[in-house]
Structure 1
């Protein structure tokens, strides 16, 4: 399973803003569970900055990650950005083996 990070920004659109983010999150969790049963949610955070939420999940590949983003966008309340992520250990090892100055 690959790890993905999804950044979500709430948008003002043609829909009235949600009265409860809890209800929106619950609805989206149900929709993602139905549309993407092979996705496993790891963590969710509210964040400061240009995005409102950061979610970490695992999925079998990019197609499943795209289904998650599409499901969130289809709500009409959010813009999403998906990033692939990797543990640092394999990256550190690759850098060490390609660094001519490494001892």
Structure 2
């Protein structure tokens, strides 16, 4: 299965109280689970820098991955950047 990193930057008006982020994240997760069954969420991280959230997902269905990124943008009020990721050892072994 292909691995992807989705980097998200939340819009300044995505929420007014940091406590609202929990519900926002739950809504996005529910939508992705319902509409993108071939996308498997592996992990998520809060980051301090240019992006607010880093999600690691797996999927062999590019269309569902694209839809997942659009759901994050729409329901999560975020700008996203998606990168395909190859595990380091797989890359090195292929050399």
TM-score by length of 2: 0.87
Q: CA deviation at 1:76?
A: 5.8
> Which residues of structure 1 form unaligned runs of 5+?
96-103
Q: In the alignment, which residue of structure 1 is the partner of 2:38?
A: 38
Q: For the Cα contact (< 8 Å) 1:65–1:82, is it kept in 2?
A: no
> Are residue 17 (structure 1) and residue 15 (structure 2) matched?
yes
| SS at 1:75 equivalent | helix
Following the alignment from structure 2 to structure 1, what is the Cα–Cα distance between the partners of residues 16 and 37?
26
> Which residues of structure 2 form unaligned runs of 5+?
none
The structure with the larger Rg is: 1
> Are residue 27 (structure 1) and residue 27 (structure 2) matched?
yes
Number of residue-to-residue matches in the alignment:
93
Cα distance change, pair 26–76 in 1 and its aligned pair in 2 (3 A): closer
Q: In the alignment, which residue of structure 1 is the partner of 2:47?
A: 47
| SS at 1:71 equivalent | helix
**Runs ≥4 in structure 1, deviation > 6 angstroms?**
none
| SS at 1:80 equivalent | strand
Instruction: Tell me the alpha carbon deviations over residues 46-80 of structure 1, each in whole angstroms, 9 at most, x when there is no partner.
Output: 00110000000111132221111001111261111
Of stretches 79-88 and 69-78 in structure 1, the one that deviates more from structure 2 is: 69-78
RMSD: 1.6
TM-score by length of 1: 0.81
| SS at 2:65 equivalent | helix
